[in-house]
Structure 1
Amino acid sequence: MFNLRSAKNILLFVYFTIPITMLPVNAEAIHKSKIVNHTIEIELFLKDHKLKAIDHMSIPYEHDEKVLCFMNRSFQILSVSTSKRTLDFHIRNTPDKGPQCLEISIPSDLRERNELTLDIVYEGSLTATPVSLEEEDVGETTGTISERGVYLSPACIWYPDIPSSLATFKITIITPIGYEAITQGTLISKTSDDHKTYTTWEEKNVSEGCDLVAGKYQVTSISHNGIDIYAFFFPEEQDLAKTYLDATIRYLDMYQKLLGNYPYRKFAIVENFFQTGYGMPSFTLLGSTVVKLPFIVDTSLGHEILHNWWGNSVFVDESQGNWCEGLTTYMADYYYKELKDSNSATEYRKDICRKYTNYVTEQNDLPLSKFTGRIDPITQSVGYGKTAMVFHMLRRMVGDELFYTALRNFYKNKIWQQASWKDIQHTFEDIGKTDLSWFFEQWVNRKGAPFIELGKTEVEKVSDGWLVKAEILQKDTPYRLSIPVILELEDGNFSTTVELKETSNTFSIQTKSQPKYIAIDPQHDVFRRLHPGEIPPTIDLVLGDYEKVIVYPTGGESASQKAYKKLAESIADNEGMVKADTEVTETEITQKSLFILGGLSENKLTKMLLGDLPENFLLEENAFTVNSTTFNNKGNALLVTLRNPQNRKKGIALFLTFNSATIDTLGLKIPRYGKYSYLIFADGKNIDKGTFTVTDSPLQRDLRILLFGK
């Protein structure tokens, strides 16, 4: 249901992306000076949504007249000094309501120093209300201070910062009594008086930024092999603490065995008062609804723990693309499926290819070298899915032992540094003693995916058995691929790998037993575009079509009409996609993907679908039946998909409910269920879902038909 993400990749560091030419001052000094340490003392005034802080900011000094750094636009800089000497400063505003630029003048007699510690005193208020305080949707805000809780991210720029700095942090947080505060690093001290709590955390290793969280937590902690593990949970969720602590131990042990020592001295699971799924250095921040979801412990928790290897200690050099999210996905989300069973792993790989095929086109595609972060299903399909499959293909090519040895070396050699795809390539080349430039060139620097199909196939009886000759075709500029091929024989299966380099590649296989079927890449081990015959009709098939038409009804109750139209507009990629049922043309009906909203008495197009509904689906005016079960309560809702019978490359989705009040709520949930063919809801909750089976793959062929014509 949730895609838990590294906080760094969902928050926009606006000040990192402002072109130098747009800054109000000469910005070269920003790139000369980098902060190496922040020692911050911050007091939080929760009732007033306010903070007051001093940052003792250390920088290696480049002897310039000015030092430039950025701060939250709403904060007031009270003073700047060094060695108790007051310094002059000016505030300049960046374009587009970005952060304020703090320009600090350095007197000539101080310019001979090799390092400066600037004491910057500031205060400010953060009153933003996070999105999704209570709902299940992941909320986003860069900073908020309230009695319900505190969340300050680096993107909020709650401390002075210089882009691209890698700094250490020591932070003392002063909160009202009853509140617990946490940030990255090791707990140094914690004391309280009658009114306030003073907590100090310190991380001596560098990081790209610092997050701070506070709330009315009860804290549970254990120690495991020198690592302090904490659960910062609200009182209502205390019964979950042990489950999360035990699971954290399992993940830490697993990843240390695979990759090397955990890079921090602590890991904390922190509950948030609004819905998040963030991974920060040495802790994760999960929303109060998120932590209660039963699958989070077995999936997303491990993903966030793994980010402490990939992303939080080996940093991403995004100038060459973000490799981190896909590698973490492969070694967490996918790896857990692999540990479960081979069928689950196969389905996960197929799902990656399905999403890419449904969402990514020649027009919106991008190479992995240009992916920096996820903003929509398209970038997720490329940056997370395709990248995960690239690591899967690399692992199959070099073998498990070399794969994990290379990753351990990569981690050991690049920890606390920025790393790129080139660094990954060179690591694997050094360990494997082979040139992999062709592999990384076609998968990282080239956009797109191969499209393969089974061409001419022959089978004949020979003197000592059977001979199968087959052709594998590639469209457009060919990729260099290793394609698994399986022959089903009368006395078992025969597996091999065929190397492809051309648009047409022919191979022969001789067997002693009669071959019955041939299949190429049946387990979806190669990242590729799927054929329509490999993809069942799903929600993603329709939502991913940029040319889809979303059809709202003109019949039925007025409240339903308005709610359906609002839903149509919310899921549309552009305004021209949304049409009333009376406006849709015959060409659109027969040639487009359609998302039809409303039941038989509401949408004129719904009646047209009755004869094409999947088997075991029956639609009536005030009821629907699925698999012999009839649903006719007011709180019931149905979403079902099918191939457009007039154009099999396109899809049709039908969504209807008997309660107009639930249309908005249910509509927001639909994109989460993209891989499913149908959904059934009762009073807002999903009670049944499924994906239709596809059996007519164009990459498989019945060899008996070639032999006997039957």
Structure 2
Amino acid sequence: MKPYIALSAILVAMLLVACSARGEVRVVRQEIAVRLVPPQHLVVGESTLYLAPGAAGEFSLALNGAARLEAVRLDGRDIPFRREGGTLRLNLSAGTGERRVTVAYRCIFNDPAPERPVVTEDPSYGVNAVVAERGTYLGSGAGWYPEPAAPPGRRIVTVEAPAGIEAVTAGRRAVRETAGGVTTSVWEEEHPAEALSLSAGSYVVAERNVDGIPLYTYLYPENAVLADRYLEASAGYLRFYAEKFGPYPFEKFAVVENFFPTGYGFPSYTLIGGTVIRLPFIVHTSLPHEIAHCWWGNGVLVAYEKGNWSEGLVTYLADYLLEERKSARDGRDYRYRLLADYASLVSPGEDFPLRRFMGRVDPASRTIGYGKGSMLFHMVRREIGDDAFFGALRQVFREFRFKAASWDDFALAFSRASGRDMVSFMNPWLERTGGPRLALTDVERRQGGDGWLVSGVVRQVGDAFPGRVRVRVDAGGTSRDILVEPTRGRTAFTVDVSGPPERVTLDPEADTFRLLSPEELPATVNRIKGSMALTVVTSPGCGADRDTLALLLRSLGQAEAPLIRQDQLNAAALAGRDILFCGVPGTTGIRSPLPHGVSASAGTFVVDGTTYAGAGDMLFAVANRPDAPGRVTAFLHSLSPAAAGAAALKITHYGRYGVLVFSGGDNRVKETPPALSETSVVTFDRQVDR
């Protein structure tokens, strides 16, 4: 879930920027008219492009290579053209005044949409464009209309479909009517900034107005009851972000349901799959993320040739900031999960500099672009303070609205707002892989006079990164923090406290991006997703049929993991590996305890004192392997094949958790057992040192 900006659209945008730089003919206005014919998977279209006065020379348009051209005209007269794959090339004769190029065409779009989608890092599920009875999705990179090299100055889209089929795309809705068995809508964009996507379906449309901005929901009948919830939440998020960054930049905002589980953020609307939109937490997670993209990624565009900053920034301003608004503890827990995800999902061979992030293609790239990017913005905010941080973002929005900005533009804005050189601060984090690996060592306490002195060393392995790390000393019910700027090797610190010191903690608020040690990592689903050495062991009581188990492994990115039966098991074969047991293991020779508070036997399991014995119940739990430091053991214990079928594909959505219980496919329990390590926490015993 949460793909937001598809990688194909990113590549198209880069191509368009490159073409524009070569001086393509300027399009003043584009009018696009399409008719959808779902039974035939057909788009029948005609587009007129109004060119700047005197336009002449070669003029290129992107159009699907399978489209059948019915007419290509210049100022009402047929003209010759040539096609090169998905490019239509015209040679415009010299002329005066405004010029008009008209292209009439038809094309079939029928990419197979998944019936039972398995969550992967491909946000499109391989669907670029489809026109079908179930619904229509025409992606921005599908070539469903003649697309010039650079967006036109203004754009108008008219969509006709069978009565009852409502369409939505970018821009202001100028017309919506049904007559003669046809439903028509007209959409007008005053500031087109990128290629268009379009969706249509048998939607129930609801609407309201907030501060002059039209809000819509386009939901299928079975989910239409959710309209008020999404309209109310959208209004709140629009106001929240407008107060922080400036006026909402588009003509409307719409929540649109898709018939397969996407999570896209387009200019002025979001497209969320029906199976996802029903989840109660989406209105608090995916929705604000997509709305924030209206400012960052769609309002201020991304200079992709210099790296994609938008996913890291939006993750910070939506997913993270809303947690921080709940409480300081929730904010801290979210930051720690980002660090744990990086340590779990990004192996050294998969790591790359943040500046090279373009879009997510696998768990490692998502964790770098979304997670590490978010942490970099957090560290900048800590360094320069809230006023300078949010003031700089407002300035970037004012300066780059509907223009492309880069990481460098943000670094300069932070520098201007704070009076500090934030370019030198940010560049190492952008240009180098990984991060610091920090640990506490040589921590001691001694009493002197009326107080106590705590001393120690922050040890760093590898090159130093800019920034400071917090060290906290708990003493007598109070805490004292100091900031240490680690250098390569060892950096000493001392802290004076009045009462007997009890504990010293490194980075207690998870404010610094760093590489967690294996001992600091909680046992979570993400440890399984990120495993480079997973073996799956099935027992007679597995409870999941082979197809469901295969789908689960595919959703976890472990489709190639070897699968063996318990009676084939030997301890040597599992040495140094992560293990996923399907069913409660019998005598295996492997020490594989369940997490604290969890027990299981044939036909039942217990979590935190609650017994589960229904046919619809399923447990998924992850624990550290005591006999193999740094490795984990996971347990899938389903009390029926139906329970596994209903819940198995949901496990990947709960990557941060280590204990999951589902009943009838609904999540009942989600917990993460804590992980503590002497590398980051040193606890003194009650005996007083002198």
TM-score (norm 2): 0.91
* Aligned partner of 1:52 among 32, 38, 44: 44
Per-residue deviation, 1:579: 4.4
* Aligned partner of 2:107 among 124, 138, 158: 124
Per-residue deviation, 1:182: 1.7
Per-residue deviation, 1:576: 6.2
* Aligned partner of 2:582 among 597, 600, 609: 597
* Aligned partner of 1:256 among 229, 235, 242: 242
How many residues in Structure 1 have an aligned counterpart in Structure 2? 686
* Aligned partner of 2:601 among 608, 620, 624: 620
Q: Residue in 1 aligned with 2:673? A: 692
Per-residue deviation, 1:35: 5.8
Query: Aligned pair in 2 of structure 1 residues 266, 364: CA closer, same or farther (>3 Å)?
Result: same
Is the 8 Å Cα contact of residues 13 and 155 (structure 1) preserved in structure 2?
no
Query: Aligned pair in 2 of structure 1 residues 180, 615: CA closer, same or farther (>3 Å)?
Result: closer
Q: Distance between the aligned counterparts of 1:568 and 1:250, measured in 2?
A: 38
One-letter amino acid of the structure 2 residue matched with residue 660 of structure 1 = P
Per-residue deviation, 1:633: 3.7
Q: What does the per-residue CA deviation read over 1:526-577, in whole Å, with 9 as the maximum and x for residues that have no partner?
A: 1111123322212212221212223345x57999456546755664547464
The sequence identity of aligned pairs, in percent, is 29
Q: Residue in 2 aligned with 1:458? A: 444
Is the 8 Å Cα contact of residues 425 and 467 (structure 2) preserved in structure 1?
no
Q: Residue in 2 aligned with 1:652? A: 633
The SS at the match of 1:237 is helix
Comparing 58-67 with 437-446, greater Cα deviation is found at 58-67
Q: Residue in 2 aligned with 1:24? A: none
Per-residue deviation, 1:106: 3.0
Per-residue deviation, 1:469: 1.7
Query: Aligned pair in 2 of structure 1 residues 571, 246: CA closer, same or farther (>3 Å)?
Result: closer
* Aligned partner of 2:397 among 408, 411, 414: 411
Per-residue deviation, 1:415: 0.8
* 1:708 and 2:689 aligned: yes
Q: Distance between the aligned counterparts of 1:409 and 1:207, measured in 2?
A: 19
Q: Distance between the aligned counterparts of 1:29 and 1:385, measured in 2?
A: 32
Is the 8 Å Cα contact of residues 166 and 202 (structure 2) preserved in structure 1?
yes
Q: Distance between the aligned counterparts of 1:163 and 1:666, measured in 2?
A: 45
The SS at the match of 1:641 is strand
Comparing 329-338 with 236-245, greater Cα deviation is found at 236-245
Q: Residue in 1 aligned with 2:521? A: 535
One-letter amino acid of the structure 1 residue matched with residue 582 of structure 2 = L
One-letter amino acid of the structure 1 residue matched with residue 520 of structure 2 = E
* 1:33 and 2:14 aligned: no
* Aligned partner of 1:9 among 6, 11, 34: 6
Per-residue deviation, 1:226: 1.9
Per-residue deviation, 1:29: 9.0
Equivalent runs, 1:209-248 vs 2, <5 Å: 209-248=195-234
Q: Residue in 2 aligned with 1:97? A: none
Q: Distance between the aligned counterparts of 1:114 and 1:433, measured in 2?
A: 50
* 1:85 and 2:82 aligned: no
The SS at the match of 1:474 is strand
Equivalent runs, 1:292-691 vs 2, <5 Å: 292-490=278-476, 492-552=478-538, 555=540, 560=545, 564=549, 567-568=552-553, 571=556, 573=558, 575=560, 577-581=562-566, 586-600=571-585, 605=588, 608-609=590-591, 612-663=593-644, 665-691=646-672
Per-residue deviation, 1:479: 1.6
Query: Aligned pair in 2 of structure 1 residues 587, 433: CA closer, same or farther (>3 Å)?
Result: same
The SS at the match of 2:264 is strand
Query: Aligned pair in 2 of structure 1 residues 82, 682: CA closer, same or farther (>3 Å)?
Result: same
Q: Distance between the aligned counterparts of 2:188 and 2:311, measured in 1?
A: 26
Comparing 58-67 with 465-474, greater Cα deviation is found at 58-67
Q: What does the per-residue CA deviation read over 1:134-167, in whole Å, with 9 as the maximum and x for residues that have no partner?
A: 9999764222212332221212111122456576
Per-residue deviation, 1:118: 1.8
Per-residue deviation, 1:267: 1.2
Per-residue deviation, 1:79: 1.6
Is the 8 Å Cα contact of residues 520 and 700 (structure 1) preserved in structure 2?
yes
One-letter amino acid of the structure 2 residue matched with residue 596 of structure 1 = F
Query: Aligned pair in 2 of structure 1 residues 243, 169: CA closer, same or farther (>3 Å)?
Result: same
Query: Aligned pair in 2 of structure 1 residues 283, 537: CA closer, same or farther (>3 Å)?
Result: same
Q: Distance between the aligned counterparts of 1:133 and 1:541, measured in 2?
A: 25
Query: Aligned pair in 2 of structure 1 residues 419, 12: CA closer, same or farther (>3 Å)?
Result: closer
Per-residue deviation, 1:70: 2.1
Q: Distance between the aligned counterparts of 1:175 and 1:523, measured in 2?
A: 54
Per-residue deviation, 1:276: 2.4
One-letter amino acid of the structure 2 residue matched with residue 198 of structure 1 = T
